[in-house]
C-alpha cells in the first residue's frame, strides 16, 4: 500500500505486533458504509466515473457478503480491516485503486470508531431501558412490601422493597443520559480531514455527513483525526453503569444469603456446586459485581493512551479499539443479564417483614413525635437513645404507618413508590423509542 517509498518489508515478527486485525475486524460493516459514502462523494466531485463507482459499490457489497459469511480470505500482510478490505477490493476490480483518493486511514478509523460508538451507545440505551423496566416491574409489585433500609449495612429505618429497587433504577436512568451524551459526542463526521490537513481534491463533505447520518461536520482536520473524547465518554458511561450493576449484584448476593434470606434464588438464575450438593449460588449477581472491573480497566487504558500524545494521529491510537470494545461488550452483556436476574427475583415477604418488625427501626419516628410536640430535636434524640439502651423503646406506630407518613416527593410511601414505578416505566419506554430511531444499526 505504501510500496513506492520502500525497498524492504516490515519484519514478519513485527507484522504481528503491528497488526490490529483481530480486534478491528469488528468494524467491517461501518468501514464498508464509510467507503461507500466516500466513493459516492468522489463520484459527485467528478473524481470517479459512474462505471468505476458501480464497480466499487459491487465490490464492497461482495466483500461484505464474504465477511458476513466467513469466506473472506485474509492475508498475512493485512495490517488491519481497512487495508484488508481495500486490498480485496483491488483484487475484485481495478477501480478499487481509485477509492483511497482524498482519504487517509486516519480519518477512516476516526469515522469508523464514531459510527461504531453511535451504534454502541444506542444499543446501550436500549439495554439500560430493559434493566430499568425489570426493576420498575418488580418495584410496582412490591411497592408496599416492608423491608429494613440500611446504612453502614446496619438496619436503619423501614422502607419498601419497591423503593429499594427503584433506588437501583434511578442511577441507571442517569447512565442512559450519559450514553446519550456519548452518542452526541460521536456525532461529528470526520471524513475529508485526510491524514491531518484535509485534501486538495474538491470533495464536498456535506453529502457524506447526511448519507452516514451524522449531526455535524468536524471543524478542525487535526482535531478530527486525533479526537477520541467520544470513546472516553462512552467508556466512562459504561464504567458508571457497571459500577451501578455491581452494587445491584452485591445487594442480591446479600439478600440471597441465609443470613438475610430476603430473596429465594430461582433455578433459572442460580448455579450449583460441583462438590456440595446442597448449594445454590448467586453466580450471576456475583458476575455483575466482578465484571464491572472490565469497563474501569478500559477507562484507565484509554486515558493512559491519550495522555501525553502529541497532535494529531499517532499509532498509539490503535489501542483505542481494544479498550472500547471490551467496555461496550461487557456492559451490554451485564445490562442484559441484570434484567433477567431482576425479573426472576422471588422475594420472601415473611423474612422481609420479620426483619422490618424490629422496633428500633422506629426510634427516629419516636424522636420526631417529640419534635412535633415542640421538643428540641437534640433532646428528643437523647431521650429516645436512652430508651433504646434500656430496651424500653415504645414505637409510636407501626412500620407500615411510618411509611405512609413519608409522602414527600422521593419518599418511600407506597403510593409514591407505585407512582414512581409507573413513571420509570414511561421513561424506559421513551429511551427504547429514542434508541430505535437512531441511524440504522450498522454493525452486525
Residues identified as active-site: 152, 273
Q: 282 by DSSP, 3-state: which? A: coil
Choose between 317 and 428: whose C-beta lies nearer to ligand ARG: 317
Distance CA 129, CA 22 (A): 31
Distance CA 186, CA 316 (A): 20
Beta carbon of residue 321, minimum distance to ligand ARG (angstroms, whole number): 6
Residue burial 188-209, b: 16+ Cβ < 10 Å; e: rest? bbbbbbbbbebbeeebebeebb
Distance CA 425, CA 222 (A): 44
Beta carbon of residue 29, minimum distance to ligand ARG (angstroms, whole number): 16
Choose between 231 and 342: whose C-beta lies nearer to ligand ARG: 231
Helix (H) or strand (E) holding 261: none
At residue 346, what are phi and psi to the nearest 5 degrees?
Answer: -110, 110
Q: Which residues contact ligand ARG (rule: CB under 6 A)? A: 20, 24, 80, 105-106, 109, 313, 315, 317-318
Within 10 A of 401 (CB to CB), how many other CB atoms are there?
Answer: 13
Choose between 118 and 228: whose C-beta lies nearer to ligand ARG: 228
Beta carbon of residue 26, minimum distance to ligand ARG (angstroms, whole number): 12
Distance CA 391, CA 387 (A): 6
Cβ atoms 113, 320 nearer than 8 A: yes
Q: 1 by DSSP, 3-state: which? A: coil
Which residues are CB-contacts of 433 (< 8 A; sequence separation ≥ 6)?
none
Beta carbon of residue 302, minimum distance to ligand ARG (angstroms, whole number): 13
Peptide bond into 163 cis (omega under 30): no
Choose between 109 and 224: whose C-beta lies nearer to ligand ARG: 109
Beta carbon of residue 332, minimum distance to ligand ARG (angstroms, whole number): 22
Distance CA 112, CA 191 (A): 10
Beta carbon of residue 307, minimum distance to ligand ARG (angstroms, whole number): 17
Q: Cell match 461488550: residue? A: 329
For residue 131, with 0-12 CB atoms within 10 Å meaning exposed, 13-18 middle and 19 or more buried, which class applies? buried
Amino acid at each position: 500500500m505504501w510500496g513506492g517509498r520502500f525497498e524492504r518489508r516490515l519484519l514478519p515478527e513485527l507484522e504481528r505486533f503491528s497488526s490490529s486485525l483481530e480486534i478491528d475486524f469488528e468494524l467491517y460493516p461501518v468501514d464498508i458504509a464509510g467507503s461507500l459514502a466516500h466513493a459516492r462523494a468522489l463520484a459527485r466531485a467528478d473524481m470517479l466515473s459512474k462505471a468505476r463507482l458501480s464497480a466499487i459499490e459491487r465490490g464492497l457489497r461482495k466483500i461484505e457478503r464474504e465477511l458476513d459469511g466467513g469466506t473472506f480470505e485474509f492475508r498475512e500482510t493485512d495490517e488491519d480491516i481497512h487495508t484488508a478490505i481495500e486490498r480485496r477490493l483491488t483484487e475484485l476490480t481495478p477501480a478499487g485503486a481509485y477509492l483511497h483518493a482524498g482519504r487517509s486511514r486516519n480519518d477512516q478509523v476516526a469515522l469508523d470508531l464514531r459510527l461504531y460508538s453511535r451504534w454502541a451507545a444506542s444499543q446501550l440505551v436500549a439495554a439500560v431501558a430493559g434493566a430499568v423496566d425489570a426493576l420498575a416491574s418488580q418495584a410496582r409489585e412490591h411497592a408496599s412490601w416492608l423491608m429494613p433500609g440500611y446504612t453502614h449495612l446496619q438496619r436503619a429505618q423501614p422502607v419498601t422493597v419497591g423503593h429499594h429497587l427503584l433506588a437501583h433504577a434511578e442511577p441507571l436512568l442517569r447512565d442512559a443520559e450519559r450514553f446519550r451524551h456519548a452518542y452526541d459526542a460521536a456525532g461529528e463526521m470526520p471524513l475529508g480531514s485526510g491524514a491531518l490537513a484535509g485534501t486538495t481534491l474538491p470533495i464536498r463533505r456535506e453529502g457524506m455527513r447526511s448519507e452516514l447520518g451524522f449531526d455535524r461536520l468536524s471543524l478542525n482536520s487535526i482535531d478530527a483525526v486525533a479526537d477520541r473524547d467520544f470513546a472516553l465518554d462512552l467508556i466512562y458511561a459504561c464504567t458508571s453503569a457497571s459500577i451501578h450493576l455491581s452494587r445491584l449484584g452485591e445487594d442480591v448476593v446479600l439478600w440471597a444469603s441465609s443470613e438475610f434470606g430476603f430473596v429465594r434464588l430461582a433455578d433459572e438464575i442460580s448455579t450449583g456446586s460441583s462438590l456440595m450438593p446442597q448449594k445454590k449460588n448467586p453466580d450471576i449477581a456475583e458476575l455483575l459485581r466482578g465484571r464491572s472491573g472490565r469497563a474501569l480497566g478500559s477507562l484507565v487504558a484509554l486515558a493512559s493512551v491519550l495522555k501525553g500524545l502529541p497532535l494529531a494521529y499517532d499509532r498509539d491510537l490503535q489501542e483505542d479499539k481494544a479498550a472500547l470494545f471490551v467496555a461496550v461488550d461487557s456492559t451490554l452483556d451485564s445490562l442484559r443479564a441484570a434484567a433477567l436476574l431482576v425479573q426472576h427475583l422471588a422475594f420472601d415477604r415473611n423474612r422481609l417483614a420479620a426483619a422490618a418488625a424490629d422496633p428500633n427501626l422506629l426510634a427516629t419516628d419516636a424522636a420526631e413525635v417529640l419534635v412535633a410536640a415542640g421538643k428540641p430535636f437534640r433532646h428528643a434524640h437523647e431521650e429516645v437513645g436512652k430508651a433504646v439502651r434500656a430496651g424500653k423503646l415504645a414505637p409510636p406506630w407501626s412500620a407500615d404507618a411510618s411509611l405512609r407518613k413519608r409522602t414527600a416527593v422521593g419518599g418511600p410511601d407506597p403510593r409514591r413508590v407505585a407512582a414512581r414505578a409507573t413513571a420509570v416505566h414511561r421513561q424506559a419506554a421513551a429511551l427504547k423509542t429514542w434508541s430505535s430511531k437512531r441511524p440504522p444499526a450498522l454493525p452486525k
